[in-house]
């Protein structure tokens, strides 16, 4: 067997390994798990943000309550209005004051209404998201188990192929094997492809005269464009 034939045999076996790797990477199990992890991560961030918002809203409510108490205190002074007027106080002044306080109370009332709405919405969002988050956390565990199961199955398949590859590699010169593996790690596949009418059969790039001569003498050359090994049997 020529070394090109040996390499091709190795590549055929290696293709099986690649297929197993791709089956795992492209599996529904992996996609499900990735989606669940993504959801849980984003939901955690949102829940934390909502938690912060709830704190800020409750502080605002506290301030608003304080403001309301202050205004109510001022209003209490008007309980003695009759006495004040009897004592010769200016009614116009108190009327103006009363109108201002009434406006203030209206504003506070509106603010309280807005705040209550915000708190309610924020609470609802939190509850809905938290329910989904818990459900996804639970489902995520199932997805994780399914993925681990598939991974161990694929690992077992890979081990069988890798043993075969080791046997085949024993017949191939180490420096050739090293160059092959370096291409493999660059995600080039197939790594070896046949020459076709003086060109690389994979990308169609024309080979130099020197490379064509090398091919005729049974050597392997490298495509200048896609960097695959080109052979001629």
Q: Which residues contact 16 (CB under 8 A, 6 or more apart)?
A: 161
Beta carbon of residue 7, minimum distance to Zn ion (angstroms, whole number) = 17
Tokens representing residue 209 in the block: 């005269």
Question: What is the rounded distance in angstroms from the CA atom of residue 91 to the CA atom of residue 185?
Answer: 92
Q: Which residue has the tokens 């043993």?
A: 163
Beta carbon of residue 204, minimum distance to Zn ion (angstroms, whole number) = 7
CB 43, CB 129: distance < 8 Å: yes
Closest CB to Zn ion among 28 and 225? 225
Sole binder of Zn ion in the list 200, 207, 220, 221 (CB under 5 A): 200
Question: What is the rounded distance in angstroms from the CA atom of residue 98 to the CA atom of residue 90?
Answer: 13
Q: What is 49-114 written as a DSSP string?
A: HHHHHHHHHHHHHHHHHHHHHHHHHHHHGGGGHHHHHHTT--HHHHHHHHHHHHHHHHHHHHHHHH
Q: Build a one-symbol-per-residue string for 64-93: x at contacts with Zn ion by CB under 5 A, - elsewhere.
A: ------------------------------
Beta carbon of residue 208, minimum distance to Zn ion (angstroms, whole number) = 13
223 near Zn ion, rule: CB under 5 A: yes
CA–chain centroid gap for 152, Å, is: 24
127 near Zn ion, rule: CB under 5 A: no
201 near Zn ion, rule: CB under 5 A: no
Backbone φ and ψ of 28, nearest 5°: -60, -35
Nearest residue to 208 (alpha-carbon basis) of 194, 195, 190, 193 = 195
Beta carbon of residue 230, minimum distance to Zn ion (angstroms, whole number) = 7
Closest CB to Zn ion among 161 and 207? 207
Sole binder of Zn ion in the list 38, 102, 181, 225 (CB under 5 A): 225
Beta carbon of residue 198, minimum distance to Zn ion (angstroms, whole number) = 12
Closest CB to Zn ion among 92 and 197? 197
Closest CB to Zn ion among 72 and 203? 203
How many other CB atoms are there within 10 angstroms of residue 229's CB atom? 21
Beta carbon of residue 2, minimum distance to Zn ion (angstroms, whole number) = 21
Q: Build a one-symbol-per-residue string for 145-184: x at contacts with Zn ion by CB under 5 A, - elsewhere.
A: ----------------------------------------
205 near Zn ion, rule: CB under 5 A: yes
191 near Zn ion, rule: CB under 5 A: no
Q: Which residues bind Zn ion (CB under 5 A)?
A: 200, 202-203, 205, 223, 225-226
């Amino acid at each position: 067997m020529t070394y090109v034939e040996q390499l091709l045999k190795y590549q055929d076996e290696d293709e099986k390994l690649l297929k197993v790797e791709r089956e795992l990477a492209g599996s529904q199990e992996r996609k499900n798990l990735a989606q669940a992890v993504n959801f849980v991560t984003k939901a955690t961030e949102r829940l934390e943000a909502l938690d912060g918002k709830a704190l800020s809203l409750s502080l605002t409510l506290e301030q608003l309550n304080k403001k309301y108490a202050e205004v109510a205190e001022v209003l209490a002074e008007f309980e003695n209005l009759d006495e004040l007027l009897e004592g010769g106080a200016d009614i116009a002044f108190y009327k103006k004051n009363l109108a201002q306080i009434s406006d203030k109370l209206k504003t506070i009332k509106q603010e309280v209404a807005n705040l209550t709405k915000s708190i309610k919405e924020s609470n609802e969002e939190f509850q809905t998201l938290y329910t989904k988050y818990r459900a996804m956390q639970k489902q995520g565990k199932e997805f994780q188990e399914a993925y681990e199961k598939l991974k161990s199955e694929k690992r077992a398949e890979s081990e069988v192929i890798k043993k075969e590859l080791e046997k085949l590699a024993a017949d191939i010169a180490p420096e050739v094997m090293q160059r092959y593996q370096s291409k493999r790690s660059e995600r080039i596949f197939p790594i070896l492809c046949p020459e076709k009418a003086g060109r690389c059969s994979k990308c169609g790039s024309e080979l130099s005269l020197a490379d064509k001569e090398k091919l005729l003498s049974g050597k392997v050359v490298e495509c200048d464009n896609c960097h695959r090994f080109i052979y001629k049997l």
